[in-house]
Structures are given as C-alpha cells and as structure tokens.
Amino acid sequence: MAAAQLPTVPVPVELPALGPGTYFNEIQWQVLFSIIDAVIPSIVIDSAAEKNENHHLQISQSQCNESYEYIQQVTSHPPAFEEFVEYLGARPLENQLFLCQVRRMLDNLPPQLKRQLGGLLSLLATRLGSLAATGYITPIHEQPVRIREAILRSWQGSWFKIWPVLAKSIMTLTRICWAQTDHYFHRLNGYIDYPRHYQPGPAFAFGFMQFGEGSEPEAVDTDVVIVGSGCGGAVCAKILAEAGHRVVVVDKGYYFSPSQLPMRPDAGHEYLYEAKGRMQSTDSSMSILAGSCWGGGGTVNWSVSLQPQGYVRQEWADQGLEFFTTAEFQHCLDRVCEVMGVSDAHIKHNHGGRAILEGARKLDAKPCPQNTGGAEHYCGHCVLGCGSAEKKGPTVSWLPAAAKAGAQFIEGFNVSEVLFDHTDGNKQATGVFGKWTSRDEHGQVHTPEAGRIQKSVYLKAKKVIVACGTLQSPLLLMRSGFENPHIGRHLYMHPVGMVNAAFDDVINGWEGGIITSVCTSFENLDGKGHGVKIETSAMVPHLALFNHPWHGALQWKLNMLRYRQMNTFISVARDRDTGRVYPSPDDSQPVIAYTPSDFDRAHILAGQVAIAKLCYIQGATEIWPFVADVPSFVRRQRRTSSAGTTGAADEKSDGDNVDNIDQGINDPDFAAWLRVLQGANNRPPLTSFSSAHQMGTCRMSAREADGVVDPRGRVWGAGNLYVADASIFPSASGVNPMITTMAIADWIAQNVSMDLKRAK
Ligand SMILES: Cc1cc2nc3c(=O)[nH]c(=O)nc-3n(C[C@H](O)[C@H](O)[C@H](O)COP(=O)(O)OP(=O)(O)OC[C@H]3O[C@@H](n4cnc5c(N)ncnc54)[C@H](O)[C@@H]3O)c2cc1C
Ligand SMILES: *[C@@H]1O[C@H](CO)[C@@H](O)[C@H](O)[C@H]1NC(C)=O
Ligand SMILES: *[C@@H]1O[C@H](CO)[C@@H](O)[C@H](O)[C@H]1NC(C)=O
Ligand SMILES: *[C@@H]1O[C@H](CO)[C@@H](O)[C@H](O)[C@H]1NC(C)=O
C-alpha cells in the first residue's frame, strides 16, 4: 500500500454480493417489507400533494406543528422546519442502503430462523391467518401504513406470544438497519461513522502463511498450534514464542489493518463478528455479540481492563482451584496488564463516564482502567475496530510480539477437528485439521470463496491449544469426538439490561472512551457475589438503539432527533444461572440456549432502577428503560427556550443534590414512575437482553467428573490438548472478562512451555 498520503477516513472494506434471496417468495417479501415499512414509515402532512396512504403515514398540519414545537423545546440543535418535514417524510424503503442492509441481515439468519419467519409471513398473507393475527381479513401487506402501524402496536400487547415476538424481531431489524443507514438521522444529529480527526495507526506486517493451488492437502509441522487469535490465543502465542517454541496461530477470521478501522457497521458485522453479528438465543431473549476476526474479541472489545475481584477468585479457589488466590496468579494478572499499558491515569471521561462517577458519588464508582498503553484514546468507535491502534489488543501488542519471537500465522483457517494418536491406549493430540481460504488476487475477502484458493491443511504439533472462545471451543471439542457432558454447558453470559436517557447537554456519546467508569454498589445483591455492575455503553447508533422502545412511528422518529443528547447505560449481571451451547443440526453453527433466570433478571432490574435514579440526578429529561410495558419517564419541568442552556442548572439548584442517590424520590412523578419500573415484569422474550461476555462452556475443575479441563488447562481424558480462553472460567467473572481470560491464558501457557522444555 502506498504510504504517501494518510487517509482521513477509513478505507472502506467491500462487502460480498447479496444472495438471490430465494428463501422467501414474492409474497413473503411483500409481507415482510410492509411490516418493516410500518415500523419506520414516511410520515407526511395529510394535506401534502403526494400523499398516498399505502406509502405514507399521515398526520395533521397541527400535529406536525406541535411535534416541531416539541422538538424545538427538547433539542439543543433543532432542525429548520423544512428539514424536520423532510426527515419525517423520508421513507427507509426508498433508501437503497437500508434495503441492502435488511437483505444482508436476513441472508445471514440461521436457516431454521428463516424457516420460522417465512412460515409466519406466509400465514399472514392468507385471509384466515390474517384474521387470526390482525383481526382483518385483508392481509397486512394490502393495508395502509396507518393500519399496519396499529397492528404492530396491538401485537406488542398480544396475549398470544408469537405476535409480540415477531413484532419485536422485525422492529429490531428495522431499527438496526435504519440507525446504520439513515442520512437524515445522521446529519441532524451530527453523527459520522468514524472518529473526528481520524488518523490510522501503523499496521503490523503479520506475513500470513500462504499455500499454493492444488488439491493435495498441505502439512505443516510445529511445536504448538493455537486455534483462535483472540484474547486467550494471543497471550499464549506471545509467551510460548518468546520461550523459544515454534508456534503457529490460526484463526478463521481475517486481519484488517488500522487504516480499514473502524469499519462501517455493515462491514463490521460481516467481518469482525461471530455469525456476522446476528446471534440470538433460541428464545430470542438475548442478542449476543462475540468477536471473530484476527484478534477475536480483542479487536472489537471496549478496552475495559478490570481484574477479577477477590470474592470471585475465592469462589473459584473454593472449588479446588487454589491457584486463583495465589500470588502466582496475581502475577499473571499484573503481567498482562503491564503488557497492554492498562491504566486509569489517562482517561478523559465523556458524558456517560462522568455521569456514573458523579451521579453515583455516594455509591462505589471508580474510573475503569483501559488497555490503551497510556494514551488518552478518546474514541468511541472501537467496537468496529480501532483505527488508531492505540487500543493494545491482540493485533497490536500480543501477536506482533509473538511474531518478533518467530511465531507464524494463518488467517482464514477454519479448524474442523483436533487430531489424535491412540497408540498405547492414551488419547494424545497430534495436531489439527482444517480448511484454509485465501484472499483473492487483490487481497480482498468479499469475493466468492469458490474463486479463491481453498486448501485442506494438517497442522502437526506437540501441543494443541484451543482458544476459539466460549461459543466455538466446545463445538470443536465435540467435533473432535469428546463426549464429556460438561462440554457446552455452564454457559454464563453476563446478561445486560439497558437504559437510554436524554439530557439537556449535547453529549455526542459516540465520541470519547466507551466505558471509562464503573459503579460497583450493586454487585453483590445476594451475599454470594451475584448482582450487577453499572457501566456506559458504546454509542454507535445501532448498538444504542436496536431496542429503544417503539410505541409508534412518530414517537420513534421524534425520539431519534434527540440522539446527540442521549446516553446509554447498562446493568451488567454476574449471572448465577446458566445456559448451553451446541451445534445446530442445520449448519453446525453454535445454537445458544440461554434465558436469563428470574433470579438474575431481578438483579438486572435493580440495576436499571439505580441507573434511572443516577440519570435523574444528572438531570435527564427523559429516561427509557428497555423493559417491556414500562413507559419512559418524562421530566415535567424542562427548559423553556430552545436556545437556553441553563435549564439543567436551574433544576439542580431547586432540589436535586448530586450527593444523594435517593434525592429523586422527592419528585412525586419520578417516585411513582420508579414504582412502576420496580414492579415491572421483565420476562423474556418481550423484554430483551444482550451479551458481549460469554464464559464457562469448557469449565475448569479440580476433578474430572466436574468439568472439561484440569487446573493446568489440559482437557480431561486427553494428552497434549489444552483450552485457554474464556470458556474455562469456573463461573462468571463478574468483571468484563478480557483480563481474566488473558491471565488464565498466561498461566496455562507458562505451564505448556514448562512441559515442552521438560520433554526436550
Ligand atoms: C463488543 C464487545 C465488547 C467487549 N468489551 C470488553 C471490554 O471492554 N472488556 C473486557 O474485558 N471484555 C470485553 N469483551 C469480552 C472479550 O472480548 C471476550 O471475553 C474475550 O475476547 C474472550 O477471549 P477468548 O480468547 O475466549 O475468545 P475470542 O477473543 O472471542 O477469540 C476466539 C477466536 O477464535 C476464532 N475461532 C473460533 N472458532 C474457530 C475455528 N474453528 N477455527 C479457527 N478459528 C476459530 C474466532 O474467529 C475468534 O477470533 C467484549 C466483547 C465484545 C463482543
Ligand atoms: C404550522 O406551521 C407552519 C409553518 O410554521 C405555518 O405556516 C402554519 O400556519 C402552521 N399551521 C397550523 C395549523 O398551526
Ligand atoms: C468451519 O468448519 C466447521 C466444521 O467443519 C463447519 O461446520 C463450519 O461451517 C465452518 N465455518 C466456516 C466459517 O467455514
Ligand atoms: C503449572 O501447573 C502446576 C500444577 O497446577 C503448578 O503447580 C505450577 O506452578 C504451574 N507452573 C507454572 C510455570 O505456571
């Protein structure tokens, strides 16, 4: 790449061509798009010349004027009236980018979800089905927008579970695609898809191994093969390579250089996330994100670098895993933090980070250390990859260090099984087998795989380390013939409940460090270390808005004009109760059976209540907990002129005291609303949760009968085979799991190294 001129925006990464979409027929597509159109339609004044009730939701002139006045009151940068009308009138279905994104997300759905959705769409197209589902004989796709919107609303409250779930799924799809692609929404909120003053950091030349054409499988010989380049794998690579062993690291994902990061959201989903960012639990109660690319979760995570707390380490030690409370393990933790320059000394907090520290002053809140090598790193887009290379993830610190020590790398390499030798009755790992898919002749990965070199490769090794992450490591073990019933079970997720809040200030939440503070006051609600942490969230719009409550098209579009003044807070539970991951019979991809339990949901709700109080104290003008059937809280007293910025200050002086979390109780409106929230039923699937932290599916145990790996990370019942990633946590870490993952990987790698040396 010519380095003459540094780009000022990330180099766009091309997407694969869309499939033919033949999984739905013409009518099914029509029904689906008619519903999508009703979630976020074009809204026009009923006297407008071009109105057409099939394409436009109509409002009266006075309703439009009232809405505009309202927007003038609640936003710091109200659009001109004409812009406002244009924004309301825009129809996503006429935006090519939006349509492509909808198609892409549907293409990526697992086959069995496509079948389910297709069945419901067909049913809705029939008269009888329509009558049952909507109360009308006329099928939904022949109804005007007004009726379709009303049907969606009625589904939300429907007693028969199928319809609310369908409504929720289509709304989520629509909100994500709209938040990613609507130009008006972006422009009126001053949002751009990359950090201001964008300057890509240096790329590291990984020199990935290449294989030639030909049908013969290749064979590669090494000391240690590491499957997965994420947080666990990368740490093992550095330690083992620096200890002088020959190391090969493989990942099914590809490397993207800092100049290509952060990616646009559509490309980011395609190339950086497991299952292209479209993972849900089987009952649709959870949306799940996990990284899958060169660097794994470390490429997309949010830099939070917390060490596991004493009470969790004690819990693990009490299960016979004493080393978690040893000084030796503390050294592992300190070592990984040191390599990444973990520190809280350089943080510049954005609004959300400050809100937690100030709003929770009476509580326990603290800045969150970040792995930014001592840089300030005021960047909120890392969730789509870090362009500055300031975030010291695997691709920036661990893997380059491994390279310098001689490690070799293969990207685009999907391991299908671990190979074994069974002589003398023992099962000994001897390497892995998998398929490599090259880049195309232009170094791109969006062109069809059939046009690139594909090759089977045997990687022979003395030691095999599986670090595919919590969702894939158990599947690889199952494919490799292990039948231990613990494999895939004990899935912890750190389920998250969200709250959005709007403030008087301009927040631009997508700028600044993503999570720079944490409130720990509610982390032990049962006396056994289960509870929630309160953190901020990434404010890339689709992540903050995919579940933002929808009660109607106008309400939603008006809310969205306040995005630059919104912030998202998360209540992250250390879950007590678990789920399971297993391969889908359709396509062998991970199926995730997990429903947040009553016990864990009560904690999440308690956290959301605390967040609401914190936001109230910080002067929030409206608060939206993502809890089904709970209306937003609207502060009655609001600023009077659109130009004024003193409202918040006035209000604080007449009562709110930042030192007292319970102060809001003095506002009877707020107190009454809080009671509604506290008593709410947050049962899934109507209330949705999310997860970016998966753990525990190959858990470590002191005895063979209780888990999958032993205290040194060796898979029970096999030799020379290790697991070193978040899947071996004995239970949920409570803190964001990267540092814990890395420290355990450090521990295991030291041991592997010792073993290898002894063998020599
Ligand atoms: C959006 C997001 C934000 C996060 N933010 C934070 C944070 O701020 N702080 C924090 O502590 N944690 C955070 N996490 C969690 C953290 O990233 C994970 O806990 C961590 O990455 C787990 O490491 P791992 O080694 O288990 O797996 P991963 O890092 O997920 O790596 C697994 C790798 O294995 C590869 N792989 C899987 N199967 C195969 C196969 N068959 N063949 C070849 N390769 C394969 C995958 O492609 C992937 O790259 C975040 C996670 C996400 C998704
Ligand atoms: C609505 O606002 C427009 C533009 O400000 C104005 O011309 C019109 O008279 C208003 N109509 C009503 C019904 O208030
Ligand atoms: C990887 O290999 C497994 C097992 O062979 C297969 O089920 C899966 O679909 C493959 N994944 C990709 C991305 O090719
Ligand atoms: C390796 O594991 C053993 C057994 O758990 C432990 O005693 C030893 O300290 C470990 N060694 C290293 C270098 O981590």
Beta pairing class for 218-227 and 342-343: unpaired
281 assigned to some structural domain? no
331 assigned to some structural domain? no
Residues having CB closer than 6 A to ligand 1 are 227-233, 250-253, 289-293, 296-298, 300-304, 383, 413-415, 467-470, 472, 476, 515, 692-693, 725-726, 736-739, 741
Beta-bridge mates of residue 580: 593
Q: Which residues are catalytic?
A: 693
What letter would DSSP give residue 491? B
**Hey, whose CA ends up nearest to atom 1 of ligand 4?**
751
539 assigned to some structural domain? no
Q: Measure 112 CA to ligand 3 centroid, in angstroms.
A: 17
Element (H, E) at 370: strand 370-371
Q: Residue 705 class from Cβ within 10 Å (0-12 exposed, 13-18 middle, 19+ buried)? A: exposed
What letter would DSSP give residue 681? -
> Distances in Å between the alpha carbon of 499 and those of 355, 569, 608, 614, 617?
13, 5, 7, 11, 15
Q: Which atom of ligand 2 is nearest to the CA of 62?
A: 13
CB 700 within 8 A of CB 266: no
Alpha-carbon distance of 293 to 14, in angstroms, equals: 16
Q: Measure 712 CA to ligand 4 centroid, in angstroms.
A: 7
79 assigned to some structural domain? yes
Q: What is the pLDDT of residue 575?
A: 98
The contacts found for 359-364 with CB under 8 angstroms, 24 or more apart, are 359/613, 359/614, 359/615, 359/617, 359/618, 359/658, 359/661, 360/519, 360/521, 360/534, 360/614, 360/661, 361/658, 361/659, 362/659, 362/660, 362/661, 363/519, 363/521, 363/610, 363/661, 364/519, 364/520, 364/521
Q: Measure 59 CA to ligand 2 centroid, in angstroms.
A: 13
pTM exceeds 0.75, yes or no: yes
Q: Measure 720 CA to ligand 3 centroid, in angstroms.
A: 23
- Pocket probe for ligand 1: among 386, 736, 742, 746, the residue whose CB has the most ligand atoms within 8 Å is 736
Q: What is the pLDDT of residue 379?
A: 46
754 lines ligand 4 (CB under 6 A): yes
Element (H, E) at 186: helix 183-188
Q: Which atom of ligand 3 is nearest to the CA of 583?
A: 7
CB 674 within 8 A of CB 613: yes
- Pocket probe for ligand 2: among 46, 61, 70, the residue whose CB has the most ligand atoms within 8 Å is 61
- Which ligand is closest to the CA of 589, given by its number? 3
751 lines ligand 4 (CB under 6 A): yes
**Hey, whose CA ends up nearest to atom 12 of ligand 3?**
414
Q: Which atom of ligand 2 is nearest to the CA of 64?
A: 1
Q: Measure 476 CA to ligand 3 centroid, in angstroms.
A: 10
CB 690 within 8 A of CB 626: no
Alpha-carbon distance of 312 to 156, in angstroms, equals: 39
Beta-bridge mates of residue 566: 502
- Residues 664-687: b if buried by 16+ CB within 10 A, e if exposed: beebeebeebbeebeebebebbbb
Q: Measure 754 CA to ligand 4 centroid, in angstroms.
A: 9
Q: Which atom of ligand 1 is nearest to the CA of 738?
A: 11
Which of 398, 394, 408 is closest to 226 using CA atoms? 408
Q: Measure 238 CA to ligand 4 centroid, in angstroms.
A: 18
CB 51 within 8 A of CB 520: no
Q: Supply φ then ψ for residue 49, to 5 degrees.
A: -65, -45
61 lines ligand 2 (CB under 6 A): yes
CB 271 within 8 A of CB 254: yes
Q: Which atom of ligand 2 is nearest to the CA of 61?
A: 13
Q: Measure 737 CA to ligand 3 centroid, in angstroms.
A: 26
**Domain tally for the chain?**
1
| SS (HEC) of 172-185 | HHHHHHHHHHCHHH
Alpha-carbon distance of 385 to 381, in angstroms, equals: 7
62 lines ligand 2 (CB under 6 A): yes
- Pocket probe for ligand 1: among 206, 227, 231, 723, the residue whose CB has the most ligand atoms within 8 Å is 231
CB 198 within 8 A of CB 10: yes
Tokens 């003008």, residue located: 621
322 lines ligand 4 (CB under 6 A): no
Element (H, E) at 222: strand 218-227
408 assigned to some structural domain? no
Residues having CB closer than 6 A to ligand 3 are 252, 414, 416, 479, 588
Alpha-carbon distance of 534 to 613, in angstroms, equals: 12
**Hey, whose CA ends up nearest to atom 12 of ligand 2?**
62
Q: Which atom of ligand 4 is nearest to the CA of 753?
A: 13
Residues of the chain with pLDDT under 70: 1-7, 301-303, 343-357, 359-393, 512-516, 637-665
Q: How far is CA 331 from the centre of its chain?
A: 30
366 lines ligand 4 (CB under 6 A): no
Q: What is the pLDDT of residue 759?
A: 87
Q: Where are the alpha helices (DSSP H) in 654-737?
A: 668-678
**Hey, whose CA ends up nearest to atom 5 of ligand 4?**
712
Alpha-carbon distance of 51 to 47, in angstroms, equals: 8
Beta-bridge mates of residue 247: 224
Alpha-carbon distance of 341 to 371, in angstroms, equals: 6
Q: Measure 146 CA to ligand 2 centroid, in angstroms.
A: 23
169 assigned to some structural domain? yes
Q: Supply φ then ψ for residue 379, to 5 degrees.
A: -145, 125
Q: Which atom of ligand 1 is nearest to the CA of 515?
A: 8
The angle, 0 to 180 degrees and rounded to 10, between the axes of the packed helices 26-39 and 111-125 is: 90
Longest dimension (CA), the chain: 86
- Pocket probe for ligand 4: among 326, 751, 756, the residue whose CB has the most ligand atoms within 8 Å is 751
* Interval 696-720: pLDDT, tens: 999 999 999 999 999 999 999 999 9
3-state secondary structure of 215: coil
Q: Measure 65 CA to ligand 2 centroid, in angstroms.
A: 6
Q: Which atom of ligand 1 is nearest to the CA of 416?
A: 41
65 lines ligand 2 (CB under 6 A): yes
Q: What is the pLDDT of residue 2?
A: 44
- Which ligand is closest to the CA of 695, given by its number? 1
Alpha-carbon distance of 306 to 368, in angstroms, equals: 7
What letter would DSSP give residue 279? E
SS3 content of the chain, % helix, strand, coil (to 5): 40, 15, 45
CB 59 within 8 A of CB 46: yes
444 assigned to some structural domain? no
Residue 22 CB contacts under 8 Å (≥ 6 apart), including other chains: none
Beta-bridge mates of residue 134: none
> Distances in Å between the alpha carbon of 435 and those of 161, 417, 453, 725?
42, 10, 10, 22
**Hey, whose CA ends up nearest to atom 4 of ligand 3?**
416
Q: Residue 95 class from Cβ within 10 Å (0-12 exposed, 13-18 middle, 19+ buried)? A: middle
What letter would DSSP give residue 420? E
Q: Residue 82 class from Cβ within 10 Å (0-12 exposed, 13-18 middle, 19+ buried)? A: exposed
105 assigned to some structural domain? yes
- Pocket probe for ligand 2: among 65, 67, 71, 82, the residue whose CB has the most ligand atoms within 8 Å is 65
CB 376 within 8 A of CB 344: no
750 lines ligand 4 (CB under 6 A): yes
Tokens 């200030």, residue located: 505
Instruction: Quote the domain boundaries for residue 83.
Output: 26-189
Amino acid at 515: I
